[in-house]
Amino acid sequence: MTINSLPTVQKPLRLGTRKSPLAVAQAEMAASAIRSVYDLEQGAVEIVPMLASGDKVQDRPLAEIGGKALWTKELERALVEGEIDAGVHSMKDVETVRPDTFTVAAMLPRADVRDKLIGAESISALPAGAKVGTSSPRRAAQLLALRPDLEITTIRGNVATRLSKIEAGEASATLLAAAGLDRLSKPDIGVAIEIEEMLPAASQGAIGIDCLLENAVVRKLLDSVNHQPTFTAVMSERAFLEALGGDCHSPVAAYASADGDAFLLRAEILRGDGSERRAGSCRVLSGDNSAAVRLAEELLQSGTPELRAFFSK
């Protein structure tokens, strides 16, 4: 392994993260990657956990209480006020449109992008009228498109909380990201749903590290741990989202995978009750997301006014 020259930066390098067990585990992965690239000692990178607003309210869907900004605003404040040097995020929790003050400088290699079903062997095996807990508009719409008889109920909280709610009988089943379960050393929980049956959320499985755009030293440091294929794929998915003009209320899925010297972007938009779905795909060249933008426009144009109402365009 080639050891890079470490840019001059305040020591220790402070990585901000939410306090949840999964978020801290992901921050530890980012810290480990940085230490490995620069051959640093354990104490050279410090994890700074913070309580995010999204963690404080667990009884309502995220879309009703402020959206994805509730996962990032505390870390953004800490960046601006100099309390941390960089923030570690699940990329699917990062708003598509953010202030120019911040930049996602690196992403770690992407993990499993699939969802896992907890509580049944398959979606088709769920009993008629089964109650499925999720706060994700995407998952709810996709489930209802496959099984209109299902009842969707809101379940929020960290992985342990949601699993405990299923054990307590609050719902028959739920869906969790396979990547999160793997990172919490729970790979045997649940049954993976293939992407052909349920396309994942844009950016699912990707860990991003952001910093202040003006902080050239930290940006240079993080560039050495950036996994370019993941970065390119996720940015194309985010370009698709931005072109839709959707928000946390919008049932939308997108996934870009390597396709020769380009990426195959598969995407779909749905009505909240799953009664309408528009899907398509395109090839995206590295660094050129114009095809992703066109795909978003095509899917919107092909939908009914009721479907388009879930998006701002």
CB-based contacts of 149, cutoff 8 Å, min separation 6: 128, 129
Look at residue 68 and tell me whether its pLDDT is greater than 80: no
pLDDT score, position 283? 96
Look at residue 2 and tell me whether its pLDDT is greater than 60: no
Averaged pLDDT, 188-197: 97
Look at residue 1 and tell me whether its pLDDT is greater than 70: no
Chain length of the chain = 313
pLDDT digits (tens, 9 = 90+) for 265-298: 999 999 999 999 999 999 999 889 999 999 999 9
Look at residue 67 and tell me whether its pLDDT is greater than 90: no
pLDDT score, position 249? 74
In this structure, are residues 153 and 131 in contact, taking their beta carbons and an 8 Å threshold?
yes
HSE of 66, CA atoms in CB hemisphere, 13 A = 13
- For all residues of the chain together, what is the average pLDDT? 90
Averaged pLDDT, 79-99: 93
% residues pLDDT > 90 (the chain): 80
pLDDT score, position 6? 58
pLDDT score, position 156? 78
pLDDT score, position 8? 59
The number of beta carbons lying within 10 Å of the beta carbon of residue 160 is 13
pLDDT score, position 312? 67
Write down the pTM of the prediction.
0.90
| Residue in 93, 112, 115, 247 annotated catalytic | 93
Please report which confidence band the pLDDT of residue 111 belongs to, taking 50, 70 and 90 as the band edges: very high
Averaged pLDDT, 3-11: 60
- For 155, counting Cβ atoms within 10 Å of its Cβ (0-12 exposed, 13-18 middle, 19+ buried), the class is buried
Look at residue 19 and tell me whether its pLDDT is greater than 70: yes
Lowest average pLDDT, out of 2-16, 32-46, 179-193, 281-295, goes to: 2-16
CB-based contacts of 64, cutoff 8 Å, min separation 6: none
The number of beta carbons lying within 10 Å of the beta carbon of residue 247 is 18
Averaged pLDDT, 208-224: 96
Closest CA to 181 of 116, 274, 101: 116
pLDDT score, position 9? 62
Look at residue 232 and tell me whether its pLDDT is greater than 60: yes
Active site residue 223: no
Please report which confidence band the pLDDT of residue 22 belongs to, taking 50, 70 and 90 as the band edges: very high
pLDDT score, position 109? 98
Look at residue 52 and tell me whether its pLDDT is greater than 80: no
Question: From CA 114, how far away is CA 205, in angstroms rounded?
Answer: 8
All domains of the chain in start order, with CATH: 13-108+206-226 (3.40.190.10), 115-193 (3.40.190.10), 238-308 (3.30.160.40)
pLDDT digits (tens, 9 = 90+) for 120-154: 999 999 999 999 999 999 999 999 999 999 999 99
